């Protein structure tokens, strides 16, 4: 009988176009809007290298060490943009380029190195930091040569010494490059997971005689209510999991949102997220003895608040909440889903991911248990659905 109920629950859910829209199409549409809104943001964030004009005067021509150093930081290394892009120009041309905003700064050797800028900003700071480091290193070399003149003749030692030094490099926390926009997409995925609660509401409504006429009819049949409930949860879970997987596929293949390469773990997150969403719905469906519209309204509110706290509206909100009120972050399923994906994307280890998945499973178990307690009764004090014909 379980398979019979499960089969028809699947058919019913797959024919429910309204819920399918909200749980699958709406998140996809929202992800497209997100892409459009964040495309500029992403471009601003990407580092393209500071542009400098170097004055090609006699001091520069005679300083081979500075020339070599500049050459090393203007070379492209793999996919990373070079630290600086350089133009060798006359003093007049350098001034013009700076005025026109075509370069961020002008480097002038007279013979001491000077940096000329006409505004402050991240690129100007990068050029200044580079020059400060160069000055420090070159001063060290001069000091070394004074105290160890043999280095001037022993080239190998000098190479070994300098090889350990690197100028300003971008260092990520983990295996992938920082991309602030992914937080929004992860939060969107968390929101979509919690929208699975809409299925959960239907699952409970269909077995409660005081909720729908169908629930009343089912209560009259010689079928155990828990069997009906479990078959419904399983059907809803599978559908929600497939919907989330399709959403990830769409984000990944069409919108080019990066989820890293660990497909298995990402699918596991979807699977657990879908279960949490569906069971949240069964819980609210069981606890609130009102119409389906009110329950959906409550769940919509819960989903949007939880997703908001997980960074759906402002990515920095997630970090603020995690830092200021960590308990909220840990009891918010949307944040746990976002954080699991975040951990997969950024970290090399799986501890943080495992903690998030464990907490999601724990929440699902609690939701299931509370649902059971709220719907286990077999008789009702009143059955408004029969009078009202819901």
Partner 1 sequence: MVIKVENLVKRYGELIAVDHLSLEVRQGEIFGLLGPNGSGKTTLINCILSLLKYDKGNISIFDKPMAPDAYDIKRDIGVIMQNVAVFNELTVYENTDYFCGLYIKDKEERKKLVDEAIGFVGLNDFRSFYPKKLSGGLLRRLNIACGIAHKPRLIILDEPTVAVDPQSRNNILEGIVRLNQQGATIVYTSHYMEEVEQICSRIMIIDKGRIIAEGTKEELKSMINIGEIVSVESVELDRTLLDSIGQLPNVSQVGYENQNLTVIFTKGRNNLLHLMDLLRKENLSYGSVYSKLPTLNDVFLEFTGKQLRD
Binding site for partner 1 (CB under 8 A): 1, 4-5, 8, 11-16, 209, 212-214, 216-223, 378-383, 386-390
The conformational region for residue 389 under phi > 0 = left, psi -120 to 50 = alpha, else beta, is: left
Cβ-based burial of 249 (10 A; exposed 0-12, middle 13-18, buried ≥19): exposed
Nearer to partner 1, 17 or 171 (CB): 17
Residue 195 CB, nearest distance to partner 1 (Å)?
19
Total residues belonging to the chain: 390
Nearer to partner 1, 15 or 155 (CB): 15
Please state, in angstroms and rounded to a whole number, the distance separating the CA atoms of residues 294 and 292: 5
Nearer to partner 1, 37 or 226 (CB): 226
Residue 201 CB, nearest distance to partner 1 (Å)?
16
Please state, in angstroms and rounded to a whole number, the distance separating the CA atoms of residues 275 and 181: 26
Residue 216 CB, nearest distance to partner 1 (Å)?
6
Q: How is residue 152 annotated by DSSP? A: G
The conformational region for residue 256 under phi > 0 = left, psi -120 to 50 = alpha, else beta, is: left
Residue 194 CB, nearest distance to partner 1 (Å)?
23
Nearer to partner 1, 46 or 387 (CB): 387
CA distances from 199 to 132, 205, 229, 376, 381 (A): 61, 10, 12, 19, 26
Residue 277 CB, nearest distance to partner 1 (Å)?
21
Question: Taking Cα atoms as reference points, which of 67, 68, 64, 85 lies closest to residue 76?
Answer: 85
CA distances from 108 to 84, 90, 131, 213, 389 (A): 15, 10, 11, 84, 85
Nearer to partner 1, 206 or 339 (CB): 206
Nearer to partner 1, 16 or 179 (CB): 16
Residue 259 CB, nearest distance to partner 1 (Å)?
33
Residue 365 CB, nearest distance to partner 1 (Å)?
26
Nearer to partner 1, 177 or 214 (CB): 214
Cα dihedral 325→190→184→327 (10° resolution)? 10
């Amino acid at each position: 009988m379980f398979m019979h109920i499960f089969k028809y629950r699947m058919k019913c859910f797959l024919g429910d176009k309204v819920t399918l829209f909200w749980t699958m199409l709406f998140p996809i549409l929202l992800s497209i809007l997100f892409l459009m809104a964040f495309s500029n943001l992403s471009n601003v964030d990407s580092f393209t290298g500071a542009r400098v004009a170097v004055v090609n005067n006699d001091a520069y021509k005679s300083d081979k060490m500075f020339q070599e150093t500049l050459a090393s930081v203007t070379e492209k290394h793999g996919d990373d943009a070079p630290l600086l892009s350089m133009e060798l120009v006359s003093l007049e041309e350098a001034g013009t380029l700076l005025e026109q905003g075509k370069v961020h700064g002008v480097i002038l050797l007279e013979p001491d190195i000077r940096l000329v800028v006409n505004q402050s900003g991240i690129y100007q700071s990068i050029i200044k930091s580079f020059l400060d480091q160069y000055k420090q290193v070159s001063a060290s070399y001069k000091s070394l040569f004074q105290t160890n003149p043999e280095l001037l003749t022993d080239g190998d030692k000098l190479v070994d010494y300098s090889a350990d030094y690197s100028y300003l490099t971008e260092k990520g926390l983990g295996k992938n490059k920082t991309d602030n926009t992914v937080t929004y997409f992860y939060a969107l995925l968390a929101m979509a997971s919690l929208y699975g609660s809409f299925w959960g509401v239907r699952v409970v409504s269909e077995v409660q005689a005081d909720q729908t006429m169908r629930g009343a009819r089912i209560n009259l049949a010689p079928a155990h209510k828990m069997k009906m409930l479990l078959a419904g949860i399983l059907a809803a879970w599978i559908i929600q999991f497939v919907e989330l997987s399709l959403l990830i596929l769409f984000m990944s293949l069409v919108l080019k949102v990066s989820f890293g390469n660990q497909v298995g773990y990402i699918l596991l997150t979807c699977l657990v997220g879908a279960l949490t969403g569906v069971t949240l719905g069964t819980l609210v469906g069981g606890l609130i003895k009102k119409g389906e519209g009110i329950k959906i309204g409550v769940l919509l509110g819960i989903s949007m608040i939880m997703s908001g706290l997980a960074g759906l509206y402002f990515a920095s909100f997630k970090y603020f909440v995690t830092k200021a009120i960590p308990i909220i972050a840990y009891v918010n399923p949307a944040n746990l889903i976002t954080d699991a994906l975040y951990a997969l994307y950024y970290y090399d280890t799986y501890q943080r991911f495992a903690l998030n998945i464990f907490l999601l499973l724990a929440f699902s178990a609690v939701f299931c248990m509370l649902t059971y307690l709220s719907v286990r009764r077999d008789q009702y004090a009143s059955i408004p659905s029969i009078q009202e014909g819901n």
